[in-house]
Structure 1
Amino acid sequence: MRNPLPSLSRSIRRRAGGRDGARGQSLVELALALPIILLLTLIALDFGRVYLGYINLQNMARIGANYAANDPDAWGATPDTDAQTQYRNQILADAAATNCTLPQSGGQPVVPAPVFTDVTGDGNANGLGDVGTVRITCTFGVITPFISNILGGSVQVTAESNFAVKTGMSAVASGGGTPTGGSAPNAAFSANSTITPNSITVIGPVVDVEFRDTSGGNPTSWAWNFADGTTSNDQDPLQHTFTCAFSSCSYVVTMTATNILGSSMASMTVTVVGISDVNFTSDKQSGNAPLAVQFDDASTPGGTAWDWDFGDGDTGTGESVSHTYDTPGTYDVTLTVTYPDPIGQLSTTKVGYITAAVGMCTIPSLDGVRFNDAQGIWQGAPYNFTGIVIRGAGAPAGNFIITAQSLTGTDPAPCNSDVTVNRP
């Protein structure tokens, strides 16, 4: 007879070898996949940076085109170098804030001048109804070697924006000479690079907002009202602080631009999102079950929905709710308040907030009562026990007359108590 042990040993070795091989193969596959995953992550990061840069670049072009459309005379027959410098500084500041590298000339960044198109066909491209266009090209660096080998170490992105000219050329006296007409300023401004009349939302409760004048018509004075009790006469209030003590606060900021020919006003709504505090109160925190409790919201104003979790499986909605705890125990209570975006839902949980204790009831005397009637007496008024009547050991079968009970009549006992009855 052949010995089966050698064959069994070889089988065990083959299985063990198979498991080790599978583990080794998994490690090899992980080692091969890890560089690919890392490469894909870096590629996604690069493209995300470039896309964000493009969004910011579009906003830069919009601000520049809006500025040019408000003050086309700055690039007219008699250039306004101060206005052109303000335009240039705005573009340079936005480029630095977004890591945008502008084209270089002689080691200096080149800010593209606006191009005006004679839409009205009157031979003047800077007149009312014509179009001012700003086209900006930025270079963004990449960090992924794979993309660098294909596209080079940087990616060039271009954005363009068009705005209709909003003020006409100054009138000139016949036969030459000094201007005899002109126009009042066309007030406009930006807040954190957002141009009027759009609105912005910023996260508080304390936040600084950068305001810049982008008016046309060469204003000589500016009057800002921030709708929070403060004002300014600076051309560009670069750091104004808003404070919001509520879930959100709205401020209608106005700026009046004035020159010798008149004035005009622009406005923008600035919404400051405060930090909301979720809280609640109740008329009681403990008592005997069944325990009725009134809950009231005490959160920061501004909520739009209130959801309650009473900790016993029941829920409720509303700023004020009532709930009854029927079963003795200790319960956590959670309130979730929904605020307008971007805050959303905020919650608070008070652990062990409600304690429903077992009440005390008076024991009835069941002497002379038949067994089938005892349960109704035990749980009925005025005794109101929640426990049960138990047939004692050795008690007769059927509906016997009770002559003994485990708890003494007229004594107090927890309302969830049971009682054992018998007939010795």
Structure 2
Amino acid sequence: MEFGFGAEEEEFRHEARAWLAAHLTGRPERRDWERELGRGGWIGLGWGEDGYGNRRASLIQQVVWAEEYARAKAPARSGHIGENLLAPTLVAHGTPEQKSRFLPPVARGDELWCQGYSEPGAGSDLAAVRTAAVRDGGSYRVTGQKIWTSLAHEADWCFVLARTGAGSVRHHGLSFLLVPMDQPGRVEVRPIRQLTGTSEFNEVFFDGAVARAEHLVGGEGDGWRVAMSLLGFERGVSTLAQQIGFAEELGRVVETAVATGAATDPVVRDLLVRQWAELRTMRWNALRTLGGPDAGGTGAPSVAKLLWGGWHRRLGELAVRVRGAAAAVGPVDWSAAAPYELDALQHLFLFSRADTVYGGSDEVQRTIIAERVLGLPKEPRG
């Protein structure tokens, strides 16, 4: 792939940078910031369709926007799941009515989404989901539990993978339903407190929650195909923006290593150089595959996840190593709701422990590459 930034892309970069500089004042509330992005037309650049309140942008322009957003240190997006996962899935599999109903509110930043996939017994093995949806006239009644549901405590809607085929097993009999979260007594959200003291993840309990029949995406029993299509959208342009943040974290680790004297250790210096070289390799691999024949396919996303998950976890370990004993020290107040405060590098270490597990564990990614890309024999399943 020939990848470069021409005059048109640089003009787009200037526009994006200027808009961010003009609107990033203070610390905006997350939902207000989503609406501000919507008013600016910056939501939905990669949908491939316009007319829903979004603007169209080329693949390279999407990369430019993602990079400038990261460089500006703009707030973490609470609308990411609706914009980058749900919306492309509706563009690919939704009815005209579903697109007209759901895409404009996402483009305006008015409706936030969460993803109802993982369950206590069905995380990496997604085909083991047990949440059930039973047809009841013009609706479905959804009952079951989801876990590790990012931003469910803020979301207005949840797309849920549920079993509609009675007695079905594995990939069969699953359906993809759009479920409103505002159903007191039928939908309960319980935040999960992490080692970092934050609660981005949640448990979600559905007790006869109602999903309208016209909000079934792709047809009853077609949920596995739709769900796998969605996962193909999960890694793309955002990976390049993620790497901007990775580079900033690596820079902080290098500065700390110099300040503490750890950089004088040749082993530490080797590790720092290795992290830098691997990050550059990840960038060029992402650029190479982004517009290639396997973009969004089974191979490239799995390779990308393996690369950055392990890299980021090793960076967290290195952040602790260059700090020495001071990495384990911090203010503690056991009477507070969050009894300890973490600095940036401590947070990096603790959060990155999960990088090789969430979003598809390393073991699952290797299995996908082995079976679906290399064509190796599938491992026996009971």
Q: What's the TM-score once normalised by structure 2's chain length?
A: 0.23
Q: What's the TM-score once normalised by structure 1's chain length?
A: 0.21
Ranked by relative contact order (alpha carbons within 8 Å, sequence separation 6 or more), the top structure is: 2
More strand by share: 1
More helix by share: 2
